[in-house]
Amino acid sequence: MQLKTKRRLKNTLKIIVALYLVGGVALWYLQETIFFHPKKIRAGEPFRYKGPHEEVNIPVDASSVLNFVKFFPADTASTKGIVLYFHGNRENINRYAAASVYFTKHGYEVWMPDYPGFGKTTGKFNEERLYDDAHAIYKLATKRFSADSMIIYGRSLGTGVATELASNQPCKRLILETPYYSLRELAGAHFPMYPVGFLVRYQFPLYEYLQTVMVPVTVFHGTKDAVIPYKHSSRLKPLMKKGDEFITIEKGGHNNLASYDLFQQKLDSLLR
């Protein structure tokens, strides 16, 4: 009887170890599928947005292109500045285009790029490419706008991209909606049983970049965010300098902060 019990325990242990190893291998090889959820759009297909906008393509190399959309305020003659908006990890610009009105109603032009594999942007997706594309967008924007009229805005995944850009390029302000401490540490929270420092190739160390951002920073995060838990962004508080703001949205989730009066009131005050 004892021998049978030992065999069962041994077999159970083997199954657990095998499942653990399979999970680790899947995390290594499928992490792009796990963390990023792009949706492509055919090159000739129009974006689903009724407001005034213009689609732009920037050649990256011989075989890939960076696609972004410019959203315009109603009165383009009195445009007061530009918002470079880096969106989250799902689908494409269509999912986030409606957010442009938060800025265009205050007279800001909004430029929103897609990441490689998202929408109409082509090429290989990797962390450095996202940073490079952000700098390319910024460089193009400087041909029309001065640095003191540029706001850099990051949403979810895009908060790391936005913060890296703001840490290296002058601008008026950095605004972060639902940021993480680092993507690697966030992955560790979702997969605590695995050594993510070894398995996860993407770092996006927002906390490092934040420490060298010289312009005012405003962070928005909800206490009920199940995707990027509030405790992750709250770790950024000690790294924020005097004058920076951390706005807590009580009971706010990951995708609904814009429905809260506090969010809209504070954002409006920053854009006036």
Q: Tens digit of pLDDT for each residue in 40-76?
A: 999 889 898 888 999 999 999 988 999 999 999 988 7
Question: Distance between CA atoms of 101 and 177, rounded to whole angstroms?
Answer: 16
- pLDDT of res. 267: 98
DSSP state at residue 67:
E
Distances in Å between the Cα of 228 and the Cα atoms of 48, 114, 221, 225, 255 are 28, 21, 9, 6, 11
Question: Distance between CA atoms of 107 and 260, rounded to whole angstroms?
Answer: 22
Q: Which domains does the chain have, with CATH numbers?
A: 36-271 (3.40.50.1820)
Strand partners, 249: 222
- pLDDT of res. 32: 77
- pLDDT of res. 199: 63
**Whole-structure pTM value:** 0.91
As a whole number, the mean pLDDT across the chain is: 90
Secondary-structure percent of the chain, ordered helix, strand, coil, rounded to 5: 45, 20, 40
Low-confidence winner among 70-74, 196-200, 216-220, 250-254 (lowest mean pLDDT): 196-200
Strand partners, 113: 68
What's the pLDDT band for 191 if we cut at 50, 70, 90?
Answer: low
Strand partners, 151: 83, 173
Distances in Å between the Cα of 18 and the Cα atoms of 144, 199, 257 are 57, 17, 41
Tokens in use for 259? 């429905």
Q: Answer for the pair 132, 58: CB distance below 8 angstroms, yes or no.
A: no
Predicted confidence (pLDDT) at residue 184 exceeds the cutoff of 90: no
In the predicted model, what is the mean pLDDT of residues 184-193? 69
Question: Distance between CA atoms of 98 and 22, rounded to whole angstroms?
Answer: 40
Q: Select the more confidently predicted residue: 76 or 193.
A: 76
Low-confidence winner among 68-77, 139-148, 183-192 (lowest mean pLDDT): 183-192
Question: Distance between CA atoms of 148 and 63, rounded to whole angstroms?
Answer: 34
- For residue 216, the surrounding DSSP H or E stretch is none
Cβ neighbourhood burial of 101 (10 Å; 0-12, 13-18, 19+): middle
